[in-house]
Chain A
Amino acid sequence: METEDGPPGGVTRYDGDWWVQVGQRPYDSDGPKELPTEIVYAVAAIRGIDPTKVTAPTLYDCADVSAIESVCFGQNRSSRGPLESVRFRFGEFLVMVTSNGWIQIYEPNESQRERLAN
């Protein structure tokens, strides 16, 4: 689907490309589901597939999620400290985890890339 303004959501520059947010999912670090599980579920929801069908690449091959967990939600993190966010490529998507408990999923925005080139 093409629209002039693109889908709603934030735009971010990463790895030389512009990316547009296509979904997000809350993450509770005290909850029963682990961060890797929630990230895969967020991507599966955008792709409209079952989470068990999200296969290659594995999240393990894309990011050190336990390190992200400790940066964003670790015990040493002060609640008054600055907002932490970590971004990484996961297959065709860009994933951003923020310390206020969100997993945001971005896709590359082709039209914006072309507009900037002109």
Chain B
Amino acid sequence: MMNDDTRDGRTDTDSPSSSGSESAIAEDILELDHVFAALGHPRRRYLSYMQLTRTEWSLAELAKQIATWEYDCPEHAVETELWKPIYVSLYHAHVPRLVDEGVVAFDEETELVRAAENLDQVRRALEGIGTSIDAEQESHARRENRDDGD
């Protein structure tokens, strides 16, 4: 029987008993798509770390912070020609991608990037990864943010 439950090639009606726990698992797996999409590029990972330390950043601030990480230099040494290409890639590629995945929201007028509903999924994934593979990037993002706040 075809009905509205049939989406994306998944036919839930094939299961004799579709219990609550099974659908909960399926939803978790689907939510991982947002996580993988968000974390599939080092600049998006860095941006996600920064978004966890403070929920609102200007696009230029993000570009400059990413430059400090990519070029391993202090913020005052980040010259325009270093952060401008990063700003362009954030504006035209990475931020729209994160907006599509519901990880951040972007205000065209103010150019502010804010946390959105799926950032929490990303946070949980980063907490697992951060202790092992990605610790250096995470600690850099957190350290930069602390310096910024002082």
Contact = CB atoms under 8 A, between A and B. Distances in A.
A61 interface: yes
Contact of A52 (B84, B93, B97): B84
A80 interface: no
Contact of A60 (B87, B97, B108): B97
A28 to B, nearest CB: 13
Interface string A55-88: 1101111000110000000000000000000000
Chain B interface residue bracket vs A: 10 to 19
Given A37-B86, A52-B87, A59-B93, 11 more contacts: A33-B85, A34-B93, A37-B85, A37-B88, A40-B88, A52-B84, A58-B96, A60-B93, A60-B100, A61-B96, A65-B93
Interface of A: 33-34, 36-37, 39-41, 51-52, 54-56, 58-61, 65-66
Interface of B: 84-89, 91-93, 96-97, 100, 108
